[in-house]
């Protein structure tokens, strides 16, 4: 069967496009200058690429790098505070000097009789309802 005129024209256009594409590919291969000039890039403190070198370099001591969790620093078991509330029923609260936290205490945990406003030293103990003070002594 004979092809129609439009089919022949479309086939000619297709062949012409393939030739042009092959010519462009060859031209790109011959004119390829990628890598001809070496570009050296730096990374700045924000993670961006720049062509200028960094001005200042900080030296890091390898012993200063800590891996894992921070070590637990042992704190002094004796705390200082002031008795801010004292009930007639035998309990009260001590306001700790460092953290300004109110800590419950009972008269049974006092080594000597205390009054409201006394400066005392004590130890913190975890109780079912929070922290409580034990071994309470007046500081002179």
Say which CATH number the domain at 87 has: 2.40.50.140
Strand pairing category for 42-43 and 91-96: unpaired
Q: Is the confidence at residue 35, as pLDDT, over 70?
A: no
Query: Is 98 domain-assigned?
Result: yes
List, in sequence order, every residue forming a beta bridge with 82; answer none if it has no partner.
95, 119
How many structural domains does the chain have?
A: 1
Query: Is 91 domain-assigned?
Result: yes
Query: Is 39 domain-assigned?
Result: no
Q: What's phi and psi for 96, nearest 5 deg?
A: -70, 140
Residue 30: band (very low, low, confident or very high) from pLDDT cuts 50, 70, 90: confident
Burial of 88 (0-12, 13-18, 19+ CB in 10 A): exposed
Q: What's phi and psi for 46, nearest 5 deg?
A: -100, 0
> Residue 114, Cβ neighbours under 10 Å: how many?
19
Domain containing 102: what range?
A: 78-138
Whole-model pTM over 0.75: no
Q: CA–CA distance from 45 to each of 48, 53, 57 (Å)?
A: 8, 11, 11
Q: Please give the average per-residue pLDDT across 43-53, as a whole number.
A: 87
Query: Is 4 domain-assigned?
Result: no
Query: Is 101 domain-assigned?
Result: yes
Query: Is 92 domain-assigned?
Result: yes
What is the per-residue pLDDT across 69-95, written as a single tens digit (0 to 9) for each?
888 888 888 999 999 999 999 999 999
């Amino acid at each position: 069967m004979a092809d129609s005129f439009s089919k022949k024209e479309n086939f000619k256009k297709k062949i012409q496009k393939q030739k042009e594409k092959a010519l462009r590919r060859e031209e790109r291969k011959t004119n390829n200058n990628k890598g001809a000039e070496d570009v050296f890039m730096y990374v700045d403190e924000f993670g961006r690429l720049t062509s200028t070198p960094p001005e200042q370099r900080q030296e890091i001591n390898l012993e200063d790098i800590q891996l894992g969790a921070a070590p637990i620093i042992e704190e002094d078991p004796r705390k200082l505070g002031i008795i801010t509330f004292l009930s007639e029923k035998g309990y009260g609260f001590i306001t700790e000097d460092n953290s300004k936290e109110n800590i419950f205490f009972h008269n049974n945990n006092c080594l000597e009789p205390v009054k409201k406003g006394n400066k005392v030293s004590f130890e913190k103990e975890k109780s079912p309802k929070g922290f409580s003070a034990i071994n309470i002594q007046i500081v002179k």
